[in-house]
Amino acid sequence: MQRRGLVVGNWKMHGSTAFAADLARAVADGSRSLTGVDIALCPPHVMLGVVGAELRGSEVALGAQTVSEFSEGAYTGETAASMLADLACSFVIVGHSERRQLFGETSEVVAAKASTALAAGLVPIICVGEVLEDRQNGATNAIVAAQLRPFLESQGKDVLRQAVIAYEPVWAIGTGETASPEQAQAVHHFIRSTVAGVDQATADSIRILYGGSVKPDNAPDLFRMTDIDGGLIGGAALKADDFLRICGSTQPS
């Protein structure tokens, strides 16, 4: 089955409002010549308003980098999914490896965040991926399956279908080292078959993105693989030209 490409820029904690507005405007303008690919930008929370204003009238969607697992209440510093939806976000990244490693998010917390996001009408982009040691020990699939399990077990099929999964090997994030297209494809295929264990139709339609040092020159080979439906882009998303070239790489050449 043909899945539509999706490329998501994860700006992480970079920039200023001026930088964010310029970058969003450049991506919105450049995206007009691209067809057949969905594009989303995930700026820091405080820049969602500014970026959303620049994206209005374009096909580029707005997303956030994380969300609270709670729907509202006394949670100082947190942002509810309903607030992101109110700011016109369509997507939210959950369980990025930096959140898991630096902020102690467990796979149960990630599943709760994804559920809260889905309930607010957002599409969660659920990140999974192994560290180098896991790969060297041949534990990649086991780690990825364990990271996905709480989410897959907590969702009904209809809801599951709304989600996006991102495979991001931790050793490839921000390191300049990318998984080879074959290495990435093998894990994407494994993820798709894991989802098929819950529901085959969802496995056929769910988009699985690759992330980890995706650049304009390696994107075409990655995106050509059968089970890779697009990318989650960090460093290269901070340069409009590079990001747009990556977005263009999802299209048949």
Q: Considering beta carbons, is residue 42 or 203 the nearer one to ligand PGA? A: 42
Whole-angstrom CA distances from 116 to 29, 68, 92, 153, 251 are 32, 8, 11, 15, 32
- Name the minimum Å distance from CB 182 to ligand PGA: 19
Active-site entry in 96, 98, 105, 130: 96
Q: What's the maximum distance between 2 C-alpha atoms anywhere in the chain?
A: 51
- Name the minimum Å distance from CB 199 to ligand PGA: 27
Known catalytic membership, residue 96: yes
Q: Considering beta carbons, is residue 80 or 166 the nearer one to ligand PGA? A: 166
> Which spans of this chain sit near ligand PGA (rule: CB under 6 A)?
10, 168, 173-174, 211-214, 232-236
Q: Which residue of this chain has its Cβ atom nearest to ligand PGA in the complex? A: 234
136 burial class (0-12, 13-18, 19+ CB within 10 angstroms)?
Answer: exposed
- Among candidate residues 23, 17, 29, the one with its CA nearest the CA of residue 58: 29
Tally of helices (H runs) and strands (E runs) in the chain? 12, 8
Q: Residue 82, Cβ neighbours under 10 Å: how many?
A: 17
Active-site entry in 69, 98, 130, 168: 168
Listed in sequence order, the residues at least 6 apart from 59 whose beta carbon sits closer than 8 Å to its beta carbon are 31, 32, 38, 39
- Name the minimum Å distance from CB 162 to ligand PGA: 21
Q: Considering beta carbons, is residue 32 or 239 the nearer one to ligand PGA? A: 239
- Name the minimum Å distance from CB 252 to ligand PGA: 23
Q: 3-class DSSP state for residue 76?
A: coil
Q: Considering beta carbons, is residue 89 or 236 the nearer one to ligand PGA? A: 236
Known catalytic membership, residue 14: no
For the chain, give percent helix, strand, coil, nearest 5: 45, 15, 35
Q: Considering beta carbons, is residue 211 or 248 the nearer one to ligand PGA? A: 211
- Name the minimum Å distance from CB 243 to ligand PGA: 10
Q: 3-class DSSP state for residue 244?
A: helix
Q: Which residues are catalytic?
A: 96, 168
